[in-house]
Amino acid sequence: MNSKKEILIKFGERVRDIRKKKGLSQEQLAFKANMHRTYIGMIERAEKNITLINIEKIANALTVSINDLFK
């Protein structure tokens, strides 16, 4: 069960790293991805098990491939 949490942590950290490198706030990323700011925060803190559709929205908003979010 712990491995499920690990992937959420790694994914959230990766989203945060890319977002910060692109100079975006959580609010700006949320706007670009058509999501709520608090949802972005929950993803970054590994509090949400994100869907594939939302992964694609975040990748598009960050202008990266889905693969880039899992490196």
Instruction: Assign residue 13 the CATH number of its domain.
Output: 1.10.260.40
Looking at residues 47-55, what average pLDDT do you find?
95
Residue that wins the pLDDT comparison between 1 and 26: 26
Structural domains counted in the chain = 1
Composition of the chain by helix, strand, coil, percent to 5: 70, 0, 30
Which residue segment(s) compose the domain that 54 sits in?
2-70
Q: Cα dist. 31→1, 3, 58, 60 in Å?
A: 33, 30, 10, 12
On average, the pLDDT of the chain sits at: 95
Q: Is the pLDDT of residue 32 over 70?
A: yes
Model pTM score:
0.92
Average pLDDT over residues 47-67: 97
Name the pLDDT band for 4 (thresholds 50, 70, 90): confident
